[in-house]
Amino acid sequence: MARVKVFEYEELPTEMQQLADSYKAKAGSWDHIRVLGHRPDMYAAYYKFLYPLHTSGIVEVPLKELVRHKIAELNQCGF
């Protein structure tokens, strides 16, 4: 079975450490960054897409976060 390495903070490239700091301050969880440590280019594209969705629009951020958690719960996702 294939496994993806989960990077420690110190192992991440500098630009990903900066993103991790930003994400931890805003959302608390940064495990998704740790598993994308081997593909900083992919994470940069993901972050560029996700961040505006999470921080803008007519639905307030706290409600978006509650919906995200509920969806994770319904899918039995520990995130």
Is residue 10 pLDDT above 90, yes or no? yes
CB atoms inside a 10 Å sphere around CB 39 = 13
Cα 3 from Cα 66, distance rounded (Å): 30
26, pLDDT greater than 80? no
The reported pLDDT for the residue numbered 79 is 58
pLDDT in tens, 32-56: 888 888 888 988 898 888 878 888 8
> What is the C-alpha separation between 61 and 44, in angstroms, rounded?
21
Distance, in Å, from the CA atom of 18 to the CA atom of 24, rounded to the nearest integer, reads 10
pLDDT of residue 23 exceeding 80, the answer is no
Alpha carbon distance 41, 64 (integer Å)? 26
Domain ranges in the chain? 11-74
pLDDT band of 11, cuts 50, 70, 90 = very high
Q: Please, are residues 64 and 52 in contact by the beta-carbon 8 Å criterion?
A: no
pLDDT exceeds 70 at position 20: yes
Positive/negative CA dihedral, 68, 69, 74, 77 = positive
- Model pLDDT, residue 36: 87
